[in-house]
Chains A and B, each alone.
Chain A
Amino acid sequence: MSEPLIQFSKVNKKYGHIQALKDVSVSFNKGEFISIFGPNGAGKSTFLKLLCTMTGPSSGDILFEGTPLKKLKDDYRSKFGVISHQPFLYSELTALENLRFYGGLYGVEKIDERIKEILTKVELYKRRNDKVRGYSRGMLQRLSIARALIHDPEIVVLDEPYTGLDTHASGILTNILLELFDDKKTIIMVTHNIKQGYDASSRLAIIKGGKFVFNDEKSNISLDDFEKIYTEAVSK
């Protein structure tokens, strides 16, 4: 096996006395679909923040393809597409304008072709000239997926992506994720929904109290066993 794509090496993150992550050493390979579970306040969002350089570790190193993040420049962030429960969109602008702006920041080439491609995928191309303000919730979420993927990121980070998603949008998201997985993209998803996370991913992880208490490939464990482990880990 070659160098892992992302490697956390003894990473600690403290906010004063609050230790959000404790000595986390974990690595993920390219092409994996990792679902991360854990109770509220376990350190999931801190983990994602560290991954996207929204914050730096208090101690320890995070390596991307063997290079510490500290040495990588702002360009590193272009490896990521983040889908969150927040839409990350300007409500007064149209879908096209939003994607043009964000695509511009990511330095996307042939932007109009790319926008057409991605909007078609989320089934919003016909509505491209409508203000986002008038979008339904489901449409907004689909557009937010398109926004996150506009620059064809290597790693897709999803923070509770299914929360509040209607069936249509969640179907589209699942299809897109499967497609990305087939394309050998790395997907890191934080979710509460165990069944959905288990079905989709290739690797499962549980964070509890700032630590990875479970991290294994899905093929090694059945859904029932995993649910048991999760319940046990959370109730402790």
Chain B
Amino acid sequence: MFKVMFKPLLKNRKFLIGFSVFLFFLVLGLFGPIFYRVDPTEMTWNHEKPPSREHPLGTDTYGRDILAQLIHGIRSSLYIGFLSAIISLTIGTFVGTFSAVKRGVVDETLMAITNIVLTTPSILVAILIASYMRVRNVEMVALILGLFQWPWFARAIRAQLMSVMSREYVYLSVMAGYSDLRLIFEDLIPTIATYAFMSFVLFINGGIMGEASLSLIGLGPTQGISLGIMLQWAVLMEAVRRGLWWWFVPPGVSIVAITASLLVISTAMDEVFNPRLREE
């Protein structure tokens, strides 16, 4: 089964490019700190130096090494992205499937909540919540972001499952007396697996972008380093107007490269698996 699934993907050039770029950043974030053993918080007397042999990406106002910051930043930005994506996916799957299976009042209540959250600007709510927390660790930031990006996913899988529910094999399972849970896990979840994976990828993007936005206005994690925090420091220290490009370009490029590669992966999967997009 896996062979059938992955073979067409591995033939898709878009998928290969996206996957390679993402893998590069993933490896950089996971194993970078092991190979490049420079402390990102260590201050030196080399203030605001452009890239050199000693500091491959230069230094910031306190003489801290930008490359070390970048590697650690990629690591925690990816972590926040994954964590918030898991939270969103879990809530979304739960709400979507229960709406579709239970129907009636449960469906109406869940969909009312979904629509309210969907219409309410999630990044604004995240900013508001974060502003009331004096200490924010990486997990809290992921939670704040993950709590509000699930509605479109819940609605989409609810619609998909509604149509699956009217198929014969589902009727048979219901007649055979399957419990709701067994029905959900054996008959329903498998039909949305590809879509869920593609959405998961987009949720990661949402988390990474959200973290960057929060951090830029000073509401990111209160300790540690992330791509957003690097940008925040650069803005605070006026790096842009003073022309210190090596400071604000790398974190931005990393954010764009990671999120764009994930988007390319998801687009490529859509092209391969979505019959309406397949070319004759």
Bound pair: A and B? no
